[in-house]
Amino acid sequence: MTDLPKSVEASEVPKRGPKPPIPLSVITGFLGSGKTTLLNRILQDPSMADTAVIINEFGEIGLDHLLVDQASDGILELSSGCLCCTIRGDLVTTLEDLLRRVDNGRMDRLARVVIETTGLADPAPILHTIMLHPYLVMRYRLESVVTLVDGINGLETIETHEEARRQVAVADRLVLTKTDLAQTPAQSESLAALKARLVELNPGAHMLDAQAGEAIPERLFDAGLYDPKTKIPDVAKWLNAEAYEEPHSHGHHQHGHSHGHSHGHDHAHDHAHDVNRHDDKIRAFTLATDRPIPASALEMFIDLLRSAHGPKLLRVKGIVQIAEDPDRPVVIHGVQHVFHPPATLEAWPDEDHRTRMVFITNDLPEGFVRRMFEAFSGALLPDTPDPQAMTENPLAVSGFTSPIRN
Ligand SMILES: Nc1nc2c(ncn2[C@@H]2O[C@H](COP(=O)(O)OP(=O)(O)OP(=O)(O)O)[C@@H](O)[C@H]2O)c(=O)[nH]1
């Protein structure tokens, strides 16, 4: 999985040979956050034609008005041109069934698959199912993780439920729901604090307001490495590393990160928030270097990170300049202990040829990851000591740049 130089080619351009992989997105969000409501709305959008939606229970989702035909294999055809199926058996079987339909011509086109998770689920195992499956990982490509957050109850849910924080951390898109219900000053204030908190937890995810009509398919799902129109990798957009530099300075994002200020609330309440923030162990940060990294060093860095600290890696994305093949960058993508097979791009998509990685970690300090990265990225020349020694006694590396510091 980590033999980087021999990695799979990330060829997305349709051509003879293997079919281009089918984009796959996951919609998650805490109980009652509005997943069904959102799905019902977007399923009526013409751009969702040729989409297959996988949900846990048909009963949960009021799709009756959309149903046309109940097929015998549990896959329903919707009047919008979508298919809908429940997760029968397991997700792998369902995803294989869809491929079979495409391959044997029973389905003309499968433009996208959307999986709705149950509210309490950590979406990571769903991503792992695809990343670890040798066939599915070739036929599907992870396009986006969309996490819905209730604009009224979200802040409290995030502070009290680890699952909710994980859902936020793994997201490419964060959708705020129920913002229409924030009418009192206290509710507006809570919504503002929620937005600030979301930026803090996951600065790279775009935030969309469902009530403002922003949660439309093209903005929800267009979060993959490849531009859906040109099929060209857009690494800068995918990584969105700039967003990590100044987490609180984003245009429409909330500036009022002012939990210490007086809002007329009692002091204890504000103080409780302060404590939660300071105790919080989720960190979002980036690493960057202009020094090419030997393939073996990258492999060891990733192996060590995921084997020793896998559960603490909520999300890792990166583009890496490999010393042996500096003109063809390697793209890495991990969720907890599982990394997608690294993809080698044919060329750098833009002028920036630095290695850049974004991390969202839980209880894994930035300094620790940074030192480990420094040790592996800068010093592992052929005559260097073994990586274990390097990790225990990391060397300082010149040319190493860091957009943000702890
Ligand atoms: N006012 C308002 N209500 C909403 C909005 N989104 C969802 N709701 C309501 O919130 C409730 C829960 O929404 P669902 O769509 O069922 O939420 P869910 O995430 O699918 O719920 P589970 O499947 O139980 O996890 C429903 O009564 C919706 O009508 C919104 O943007 N504004």
Q: What is the pLDDT of residues 272-311, one digit of tens each?
A: 344 344 456 889 999 999 999 999 999 999 999 999 999 9
* pLDDT reported for residue 280: 67
Mean pLDDT computed over every residue of the chain: 78
Question: Which atom of ligand 1 lies at the shortest distance from residue 181's CA?
Answer: 1
* pLDDT reported for residue 392: 47
Report yes or no: 397 and 376 within 8 Å, Cβ to Cβ.
no
Find where tokens 């369902």 sit.
Answer: 94
Among 36, 37, 53, the mutation site with the greatest number of ligand 1 atoms within 8 A of its Cβ is 37
Instruction: Compute the distance between CA of residue 69 and CA of residue 301 in angstroms, rounded to an integer.
Output: 51
Residues linked to residue 55 through DSSP beta bridges, in sequence order: 86
Cα 337 to ligand 1 centre (Å): 32
Question: Which atom of ligand 1 lies at the shortest distance from residue 40's CA?
Answer: 15
Question: Is residue 161 exposed (0-12), middle (13-18) or buried (19+ Cβ within 10 Å)?
Answer: middle
* pLDDT reported for residue 255: 37
Cα 178 to ligand 1 centre (Å): 8
Among 27, 28, 30, 36, the mutation site with the greatest number of ligand 1 atoms within 8 A of its Cβ is 36
Report yes or no: 25 and 145 within 8 Å, Cβ to Cβ.
yes
Region 30-57 average pLDDT = 87
- What's the DSSP call for residue 25? E
Share of the chain above pLDDT 70, in %: 71
Instruction: Compute the distance between CA of residue 154 and CA of residue 160 in angstroms, rounded to an integer.
Output: 10
Burial 40-61 (b: 16+ CB within 10 A, else e): ebbbeeeebebbbbbbeebeeb
How wide is the angle at C-alpha 27 spanned by C-alphas 82 and 181, nearest 5°? 105
Instruction: Decide if pLDDT at 12 tops 90.
Output: no
Instruction: Decide if pLDDT at 58 tops 60.
Output: no
Q: Give every CB contact of residue 114 below 8 A, 6+ residues apart in sequence.
A: 24, 25, 26, 27, 39, 51, 52, 53, 54, 221
Instruction: Decide if pLDDT at 345 tops 80.
Output: yes
Residues 355-401: tens digit of each pLDDT:
999 999 999 999 999 999 988 877 444 444 455 554 444 443 333 33
* pLDDT reported for residue 169: 93
The ligand 1 site (C-beta within 6 Å) comprises 29, 31-37, 60, 119, 177-178, 180-181, 210-211
Residue bearing the CA closest to ligand 1, atom 6 = 34
**H or E segment to which residue 320 belongs:** strand 313-320
Instruction: Decide if pLDDT at 153 tops 90.
Output: yes
Instruction: Compute the distance between CA of residue 44 and CA of residue 152 in angstroms, rounded to an integer.
Output: 26
Region 213-231 average pLDDT = 83
Report yes or no: 59 and 149 within 8 Å, Cβ to Cβ.
no
Instruction: Compute the distance between CA of residue 406 and CA of residue 393 in angstroms, rounded to an integer.
Output: 20
Cα 196 to ligand 1 centre (Å): 22
* pLDDT reported for residue 225: 80
Maximum pairwise Cα distance, the chain? 68
Instruction: Decide if pLDDT at 105 tops 70.
Output: yes
* pLDDT reported for residue 245: 80
Which three-class secondary structure string do you get for 38-92? Answer: HHHHHCCCHHHCCEEEEECCCCCCCCHHHEEEECCCCEEEECCCCEEEECCCCHH
Cα 151 to ligand 1 centre (Å): 11
Question: Which atom of ligand 1 lies at the shortest distance from residue 148's CA?
Answer: 19
Residue bearing the CA closest to ligand 1, atom 32 = 178
Report yes or no: 317 and 297 within 8 Å, Cβ to Cβ.
no
Residue bearing the CA closest to ligand 1, atom 12 = 32
Region 100-111 average pLDDT = 87
Predicted confidence band at 89 (pLDDT cuts at 50, 70, 90)?
low
Region 221-239 average pLDDT = 79
